[in-house]
Amino acid sequence: MSRYWTNKIASLDPYVPGEQPQDKQYIKLNTNESPYSPSPKAIAAMQAQVSDDLRLYPDPNCQALKNALAQNYDLSANQVFVGNGSDEVLALAFMGYFANGKPLAFADITYSFYKVYAGLYGIEPKLIPLTDSFDIEPSDYENLDVSGVVVTNPNAPTGKALPLSDIERILTANPDVVVLVDEAYVDFGAQSAASLVNTYPNLLVVQTLSKSRALAGIRVGYALGHPDLIEGLERLKNSFNSYPIDRIALAGATAAVEDDVYLKDICAKTINTREKTVLELEKLGFSIIPSATNFVFVTHPEKSAESLYLSLKEQGILVRYFGNKPRIGEYLRITIGTDEEMAALVEVL
């Protein structure tokens, strides 16, 4: 606390990322990073950027990256926005589309950063409870008087995916506001709403290179939507920071997006390891929610989540524990690592 802090700063309740302890080498299964290296083509492209050219500003419009993404999703470049991680894209979208005085609808159990952005911009969350089986019930998203809707698909930390028909139901029920679909984990087994962008002018699809493309370290995320929605985000971005994506990140992200073969390969490996891990954990008595992501959300009928979390940490394995959160305090979220890392986890458990 400082006497120079404004009431605004004092009122904030910032996001706390998963722990990154430096005391020893852990098997890190707590922040949903990829256990695989990024595409070799992305690494080569980034290495080539470490040159004299770094004295120059990057392309403020990120055109090469937008073109690559547009081609990937069969859209036009003016339907693509890129930002410094999808967290930045979300922050701009919340400021631009949801801070209009009405509450913003999202699930009670979902990515906890949404509440933080809501607090930052003075948006009142309208929390819509997941069902007892942790499902999003589309009919709960009808007849809302809200500034917008955020749906995470697949949801985090539950790992459950919604079919596109349910996303469409939510879109058609809310034609007057932006429906933001956060697809951070979509490549691990769900259907992307990117194919609906040309049909629904109120749809904003947000994705990241941090999870399936194994590039959390360069901070690149993006949004897909109607050109007018994208232009709105550009206006905000250019009123804040013209160059949020540096030259190295831009080159790496573009090469990674162009390397679809590599993406499919490492996602297939993760999905394969996930399914094997689920069977092993079931043998140990865990109940596991069916996951369409690179993590599993698990609970044990006899062992408390806290005791499991603490003993795993003591033995060098980090997982995410939600002790202070309602409804999910007895669950652990475990990132899918390599086969060897998951074998070590099962052994300790």
Binding site residues, ligand PLP, CB under 6 A: 32, 85-87, 111, 152, 156, 182, 184, 208, 210, 216, 221
Closest CB to ligand PLP among residues 222, 349: 222
CB of 243 to ligand PLP, least distance (A): 17
Matching residue, tokens 């360069």 = 218
Closest CB to ligand PLP among residues 88, 259: 88
CB of 47 to ligand PLP, least distance (A): 22
CB of 321 to ligand PLP, least distance (A): 16
Closest CA to 174 of 80, 105, 93: 105
Closest CB to ligand PLP among residues 190, 349: 190
Please give the full DSSP string across 12-63, using - where no structure is assigned: -----PPP---SS--EEESS---SSPPPHHHHHHHHHHSSGGGGSPP-TT-H
CB of 184 to ligand PLP, least distance (A): 4
Residues 147 and 104: their CA atoms lie apart, in Å, by 5
Closest CB to ligand PLP among residues 87, 187: 87
Matching residue, tokens 């209009």 = 100
Closest CB to ligand PLP among residues 211, 300: 211
How large is the greatest C-alpha to C-alpha distance in the chain, in angstroms?
A: 60
Closest CB to ligand PLP among residues 322, 349: 322
Residue type, 62: C
Closest CB to ligand PLP among residues 92, 349: 92
CB of 85 to ligand PLP, least distance (A): 3
CB of 108 to ligand PLP, least distance (A): 15
Residues 279 and 119: their CA atoms lie apart, in Å, by 40
Q: How far is CA 257 from CA 32, 42, 220, 275, in A?
A: 19, 9, 11, 26
Please give the full DSSP string across 122-162, using - where no structure is assigned: TPPEEEE---TTS---GGGGSS---SEEEEESS-TTT----
- The closest residue (CB) to ligand PLP is 85
State the first-to-last Cα distance of the chain, in angstroms, to the nearest integer. Answer: 42
SS3 assignment, position 206:
strand
CB of 161 to ligand PLP, least distance (A): 13
Closest CB to ligand PLP among residues 105, 184: 184
The secondary structure of residue 94, as a DSSP letter, is I
CB of 88 to ligand PLP, least distance (A): 7
